[in-house]
Structure 1
Amino acid sequence: MDAGPVARYAAALRERGMAAQDIADASGVSVTLIRRLLKPPPLHPPRVSQVTAGAVLGVSLPPKERSAPLAGRGQVDAAPASGLLTELAERGWPARRLGRGLCVNPRTVASIRDGKYTRISISVDQRIRALHAALLPLDPVAAGVRPGDAARVRTWAQRRREPTPAPRPELLAA
């Protein structure tokens, strides 16, 4: 099947705010193929299978952004958001659950939380702040997080927060 209509639809999904990984997750198609479809026409594949076309064309087009406020566009420092996500991890909220609440990939949540991003979009920052305010008073297990997952995240966050012990002077002299 001709890849042109599929590539145009993937581009429309991208214009509405979906990343290549989000399109891949929603369609079940590999992210590599989605990225190839998002390339300009001479560079994207000329043909795709009927199954791939049906999967990509079956992804619902997100609603158009509100045209009035431009808040959410641009970038801000990621450090405050990283601190908020770390605080939620200390309380037992896993990245997978936070990703669902933020409408982003759990790996993106983990990367922001772990300080791998220096800047993030204003809209993601605003969503993190809103989610933090909503989840902070809640118990993760009571909200549907498996007890083992909550305990694992708490342990990870505690280990991450603990400073590494300084070497003892008597061992350095030897």
Structure 2
Amino acid sequence: MAGRPARIPSSDAAAAARRLQSTGLSASDIAEISGVAVTLVRRLLRPAAARPARIHRTTVEAILGIPMNAARRRERPLPGLVEADRAANSLQDLAEHGWPTSFLAEQLRTSTQTLAAIRSRKRRRLALALDRKIQRLATRLLASDPAGHGIAAHRSRRAQAAARHRAPSVTLTDEDLDDLDALLAVLRQPQDRKADEQLMPGAAEACHG
């Protein structure tokens, strides 16, 4: 007796993904909950002519297994998942210290795309196991030098340049701006006095006399 086919029509999974999307879940949310790659979820959300006709049975079952009320439960941590903020900060710190993403991906046994998505916070949550691996790796590498691990200087410089480009810009509050104005006023005082003396030499001599 022949077993069930490994690949089956994608129509049921695509319909389920669209229904889930209508409840407020994004493609990334569906991917996180189901464990299906986000690129495949996005392809399933395309029109019928543009999506894969057949996909693995396990993929279909994973998407069909997502409850329709999952959107209302998204604020609660899912089993085995943690917030990505700490991992994102650690990956950014590593880049600022010259550790290339490709090297980190190799050490963590994951893809550069996954690390980039975490670092940019496009992924709001990640597997607890990966988060722990990132923290352990960051602790070890931040205490060492990239060159000591065989990483060429130009690769470190490129990683640092990319990190600087990604770094968030500083937003000044009204209080910050007031403090800055006060500091500039103090710094300008000697220059203003010198300018006054140059414009009115007679007055300056009278003061000194």
TM-score range, shorter chain: 0.5 to 0.7
Q: Partner letter of residue 137 of structure 2?
A: L
Indicate whether 1:95 and 2:98 are aligned.
no
Of 165, 185, 189, which aligns to 1:159?
Answer: 165
Indicate whether 1:128 and 2:146 are aligned.
no
Of 107, 111, 114, which aligns to 2:113?
Answer: 107
**Higher helix residue share:** 2
Contact 1:6–1:37, Cα closer than 8 Å, also in 2: no
1: CA distance, partners of 2:171 / 2:57: 53
Indicate whether 1:39 and 2:39 are aligned.
no
Q: Unmatched 5+ residue regions in structure 1?
A: 8-18, 21-34, 44-72, 167-174
1: CA distance, partners of 2:93 / 2:106: 17
Q: So what's the TM-score if we normalise by structure 2?
A: 0.45
Indicate whether 1:145 and 2:162 are aligned.
no
Q: Decide which structure has the larger Cα Rg and report it.
A: 2
Task: Flag the 1:165–1:75 CA change in 2: closer, same or farther, 3 A.
Answer: closer
**Deviation readout 1:77-117 (Å, 9 max, x if unpaired):** 00110000000000011110000111101111111111110
The structural deviation recorded for 1:163 is 1.5
Task: Flag the 1:37–1:127 CA change in 2: closer, same or farther, 3 A.
Answer: farther
The structural deviation recorded for 1:160 is 2.1
Task: Flag the 1:142–1:36 CA change in 2: closer, same or farther, 3 A.
Answer: farther
1: CA distance, partners of 2:101 / 2:138: 13
The structural deviation recorded for 1:5 is 10
Task: Flag the 1:123–1:148 CA change in 2: closer, same or farther, 3 A.
Answer: same
Contact 1:85–1:132, Cα closer than 8 Å, also in 2: yes
2: CA distance, partners of 1:37 / 1:94: 37
Q: So what's the TM-score if we normalise by structure 1?
A: 0.53
2: CA distance, partners of 1:36 / 1:97: 36
- Could you say which residue in structure 2 is the equivalent of 1:68? none
Q: Structure 1 segments of 4 or more deviating over 3 A?
A: 4-7, 35-38
Contact 1:95–1:107, Cα closer than 8 Å, also in 2: no
- Could you say which residue in structure 1 is the equivalent of 2:13? none
Task: Flag the 1:164–1:96 CA change in 2: closer, same or farther, 3 A.
Answer: same
Task: Flag the 1:36–1:80 CA change in 2: closer, same or farther, 3 A.
Answer: farther
1: CA distance, partners of 2:88 / 2:165: 16
2: CA distance, partners of 1:110 / 1:123: 17
Contact 2:82–2:127, Cα closer than 8 Å, also in 1: yes
Q: Partner letter of residue 77 of structure 1?
A: E
SS of the counterpart of 1:120?
strand
Contact 2:6–2:56, Cα closer than 8 Å, also in 1: no
How many equivalent pairs are there? 110
Q: Unmatched 5+ residue regions in structure 2?
A: 8-35, 38-51, 61-78, 173-209
